[in-house]
Amino acid sequence: MSVPTRSRGQREDGHPDSRLARRQRRLEELLEAAGVVTGAELDAILDRYLATAKPANGARVVARAWVDEGFRHRLLADGNAAVAELGFSMGGGIQPQLLRVVENTPRLHNVVVCTLCSCYPLALLGPSPSWYRSEAYRSRVVRRPREVLEEFGLHLPGHVEVRVWDASAETRYMVVPRRPAGTEGMAEDALAGLVTRRGLIGTAAV
């Protein structure tokens, strides 16, 4: 999908994430001024976090849901608690993040967007792709989801409902794709290798 990125001068200060970012930066400044932590230490913490934030984490969650029916039910009911079973956290610093996990079925396909910003479950999906942050994707997928999915190469039958989930500063979404046919005998690790970041967002099948 070819989409233009937002211009450097465009701002979204009305979005809650913008206010949170300012509050977070102010807190960092106060901690640095009080000698509690240095800027270098904060950078090191962020680097360690990003080093462990990757799509493979979300893939592990999906693979477990595919092989463990009990875990799948827990994941759909309480995403935060379920991913914690695998050692993942949705802690959002100043404001904790609620993880909602939605499941694709033969009659329903889910796709995730953040129309006002680029809210995204970073810990499970890794840094967001540029197209997810682009204004073109954010504005069009809610109005013409099938058209956008087709541009990604995903053609869904007419009887399949497409449901778009809009993330926010408080709530992040992740998709559990349908398990591919013929994978019944595959081990959990091998199943995880089939899951892509686009599948976790909903712009691709697995």
What residues are labeled active site?
A: 114, 117-119
SS (H, E, C) the chain: CCCCCCCCCCCCCCCHHHHHHHHHHHHHHHHHHCCCCCHHHHHHHHHHHHHHCCHHHHHHHHHHHHHCHHHHHHHHHCHHHHHHCCCCCCCCCCCCCEEEEEECECCEEEEEECCCCCCCCHHHHCCCCHHHHCHHHHHHCCCCHHHHHHHCCCCCCCCCEEEEEECCCCEEEEEECCCCCCCCCCCHHHHHCCCCHHHHHCCCCC
